């Protein structure tokens, strides 16, 4: 690990908003690429566009007013995604965020292990929103980084 980087044990709403913004802007940069590789939920070439439009609504909600309470911020993001969801991929993404908010909405600060639990909850909501989830239905909606995060969560929860 770089000497300038220190592990973060918890996130408040302000730090979480910064993380969400960074991820949203990264998705905006990759919209065309996602459209080109789009095969799920429908191979129609607009998954990146629909996810970007959905997350534009989330970005607007994040920028409306600072929210120091992490759980309240996640609930706000979920509400915005549900209201602004576009297409199948946007609706599935909104369900992921709803599960994230439902899993951590009560937390003023989110620890690594609590975040992993909330993301797992969000992945379950997203999977349940699909009429025919692809592949292994138990793990199909889990982000690829979630598995190592489970094992790392115990390490960083002691920081």
For strand 110-111 and strand 10-11, is the pairing parallel, antiparallel, or unpaired?
A: antiparallel
Convert the pLDDT of each residue in 66-122 to its tens digit: 999 999 999 999 999 999 999 988 999 999 999 999 999 999 999 988 998 999 899
What distance, in Å, lies between the first and last C-alpha atoms of the chain? 14
pLDDT tens, residue by residue, 46-70: 989 999 999 999 999 999 999 999 9
Residue extents of the structural domains in the chain: 10-156
Confidence label for 136 from pLDDT (cuts 50, 70 and 90): low
């Amino acid at each position: 690990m770089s000497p300038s980087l220190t592990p973060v044990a918890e996130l408040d709403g302000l730090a979480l908003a910064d993380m969400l913004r960074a991820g949203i802007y990264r998705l905006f940069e990759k919209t065309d690429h996602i459209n080109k590789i789009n095969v799920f939920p429908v191979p129609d070439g607009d998954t990146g566009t629909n996810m970007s439009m959905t997350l534009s609504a989330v970005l607007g909600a994040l920028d409306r007013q600072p929210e120091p309470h992490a759980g309240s911020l996640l609930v706000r993001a979920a509400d915005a995604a549900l209201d602004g969801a576009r297409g199948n991929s946007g609706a599935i993404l909104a369900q992921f965020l709803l599960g994230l908010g439902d899993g951590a909405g009560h937390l003023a600060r989110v620890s690594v292990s609590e975040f992993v639990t909330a993301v797992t909850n969000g992945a379950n909501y997203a999977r349940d929103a699909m009429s025919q989830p692809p592949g292994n239905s138990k793990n199909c909606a889990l982000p690829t980084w979630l598995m190592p995060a489970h094992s790392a969560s115990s390490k960083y929860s002691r920081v």
